[in-house]
Amino acid sequence: MNKKSGKFLARWFVSSLGLWIAAELLGSESITVGDQFSAVLISGLILAILNSFIRPLVVFLTLPAVLITLGIFMLVINALMVMLAANLYGPLEVDGFGAAFVVGIIIGLVNWLVSIVLDDKK
């Protein structure tokens, strides 16, 4: 397995794990990821694909806002990616921008924790 596919699989895992944790923490009023484990994996895959291809373009286009807010605008971009994934995949339902914002924060925290664990092993 090459380095790029390994990074993508890690991004897919983190996205799926983050969505699952967010769904458990926030409840079905805010986010629903379907009833099956496969729905969580497919939702995570779609989010990982969006974060790999669409997110860099959005970050580039909104670079002035990201710089002016010292990076806090990245939370808005994360929320937009979650909302876009929900629009593309029916079983993933997010109740508005506020819920997507919190889901984006949870996924970011999960990503941070996973990277700490992986860095400790090196």
Contact 11, 52 (CB under 8 A): yes
- Cβ neighbors of 11 (< 8 A, separation 6 or more) are 48, 51, 52
Alpha helices per DSSP H over the chain:
3-26, 37-61, 63-68, 73-88, 96-121
Give Cβ neighbours of residue 2 (< 8 Å, ≥ 6 apart): none
- Indicate the helix (H) or strand (E) that contains 33: strand 31-33
CA atoms of 68 and 49, how far apart (whole Å)? 27
Q: What is the pLDDT of residue 73?
A: 95
Residue whose pair of structure tokens reads 């079905």 in the numeric block: 28
- Quick: pLDDT tens for 87-121: 999 888 999 999 999 999 999 899 888 888 877 65
Mean pLDDT throughout 42-64? 94
Contact (CB, 8 A) for 52 and 81: no
pLDDT digit string (tens) for 62-92? Answer: 999 999 999 999 999 999 999 999 999 988 8
